Amino acid sequence: GFYRNIILNNPRKRNALSLSMLQSLREDLLHDVKSKDLRVIIISAEGPVFCSGHDLKELSNEDDVKHHSQVFEICAEVMTLIQKLPVPVIAKVNGLATAAGCQLVASCDIAVASEKSQFATPGVNIGLFCSTPAVALGRSLPRKVALEMLFTGEPLSAQEALMHGLVSKVVPEDKLEEETMKISQKICESSKSILALGKATFYRQMTQDLDTAYKTTTQVMVDNLTLRDGQEGIEAFIQKRKPVWSH
């Protein structure tokens, strides 16, 4: 009951982020998210393509500006929602992730990829520059690496993605499930309330200058000590026992 597995399950359409897929993803991410039992969300996909990005058929009519706006707005909402959730979100990638699919990987807190996975933002090649994926890419990768991906559309291998920080780990395909669950199980050993505080603070301070970030996190450390699980963890350490979290 500690894990929620969200599976992109439209392999025939390369798990494209159609409007309906985005709406379903948002609904699944938000479902019972405040439950004490939910500690980790894992996003994976069926088929050889993790996610090919937006469904281009939905974007082919130049006159349908309202629909286009709706697609990009809900996509931005989903990507930012991932980082606002009180639980860690892990992307389990086994295959190709392109455009908004690459954006989805970059937006997750942790990403574990199989060795065969690849990552690309090829929109420039079809006349639709990956401007919204660039937001997540530019915050995950060194600027020059992100811009090379955006300007050329050429893919990164799994190992290159690891080297540049787009993913957390790369493992053989047959070890992908095991490694993802290993990380998830380790997360589940900690207090949900402490993790929620830590995650929210991490993303908040990342947008701040150094002095403000230290001011913010100093106060959060003090606040952390007022939480029941903050005191329980310290007492358990001193008493050399396992903590009993209230979450």
Asked whether the predicted pLDDT for residue 63 surpasses 80, the reply is no
Res 61: pLDDT: 78
For 99, the token pair is 């455009």
In the chain, which segments carry CATH 3.90.226.10? 3-188
The secondary structure of 74-112 as a DSSP string is HHHHHHHHHHHSSS-EEEEE-SEEETHHHHHHHHSSEEE
pLDDT at 1 over 80: no
Angle, CA of 94, 96 and 98, to the nearest 5°: 135
Per-residue model confidence as pLDDT tens digits over 8-41 = 999 999 999 999 999 999 999 999 999 989 999 9
DSSP string of 123-149? GGGGT---HHHHHHHHHHS-HHHHHHH
Per-residue model confidence as pLDDT tens digits over 144-157: 999 999 999 999 99
Q: How does pLDDT run across 92-136, given as a tens digit for each residue?
A: 999 999 999 999 999 999 999 999 999 999 999 999 999 999 999
Q: What local confidence, expressed as pLDDT, does residue 62 receive?
A: 73
Give the phi and the psi of residue 49 in degrees, each rounded to 5: -115, 120
Domain(s) labelled CATH 1.10.12.10 in the chain stretch across 190-239
DSSP 166: S
* pLDDT, mean over the chain: 96
Q: Could you tell me which CATH class the domain 190-239 is placed in?
A: mainly alpha
Both structure tokens of 63: 């006159």
pLDDT of 64 reads 87
C-beta of residue 15 within 8 angstroms of C-beta of residue 52? yes
Burial class (CB in 10 A: 0-12, 13-18, 19+), 239: exposed
Show the tokens assigned to 131. 């401007």
CATH superfamily of 3-188: 2-enoyl-CoA Hydratase; Chain A, domain 1 (3.90.226.10)
